[in-house]
Chains A and B, each alone.
Chain A
């Protein structure tokens, strides 16, 4: 079965600093990979997705992620954090091309 592991339940950065949220996947087939963001008291919304096209995927709000097959990783980055980026971020992998398996989430804290 497919799975994802998110390293670090909390990540703290200063405003303007690089954001790096880590995700490693386990999949027996070429995966479809996703990053979702959840703001307080809201549902999840898609940041970006990898579907076997370009390995560097650009998403909304300046986020991007790079698919690295050799490292089984799909880390999320943003060059400069903004206060509004504070939220919980979930990595997910498609299983059977019907449902998603989500990671445990990483809470991003941004300090002024």
Chain B
């Protein structure tokens, strides 16, 4: 298996622009997680899905952030409009059956908002 795939690997955008991050989980995994990592706040869980349904989005910082999972093999995290404080590395992870099982992380998308 190719593992969790994220695109793009790097994104540089100007403040106010829309940003879309993409994730393809490992085939057969029922859970998908979006995390954000910064020096100041560490690793934060933004939202997670079970069988394509959002279960907990309490970590989403504000309404500018939205996430979708239209099918079992694809998820997006959208920021609109983007702000400099959104600069971070965003990770997608997938898991076979939830938190008691190993989460497999993608390589991350490094977002820079200028």
Q: Which residues of A contact B (CB under 8 A)?
A: 32, 34, 41-46, 49, 51, 90, 94-102, 104-105
Contact = CB atoms under 8 A, between A and B. Distances in A.
A95 B45 CA distance: 12
- Interface centre among B42, B45, B91, B106, by most chain A C-beta atoms within 10 angstroms, is B42
Q: What's the dominant secondary structure at chain A's contact region? A: strand
27 contacts: A32-B99, A32-B100, A41-B107, A43-B91, A43-B105, A43-B106, A46-B103, A90-B43, A94-B99, A94-B100, A97-B98, A97-B99, A97-B100, A98-B31, A98-B55, A98-B98, A98-B99, A99-B33, A99-B45, A99-B48, A99-B98, A100-B99, A102-B42, A102-B43, A102-B45, A104-B42, A105-B42
B4 A98 contact: no
Contacts of B25: none
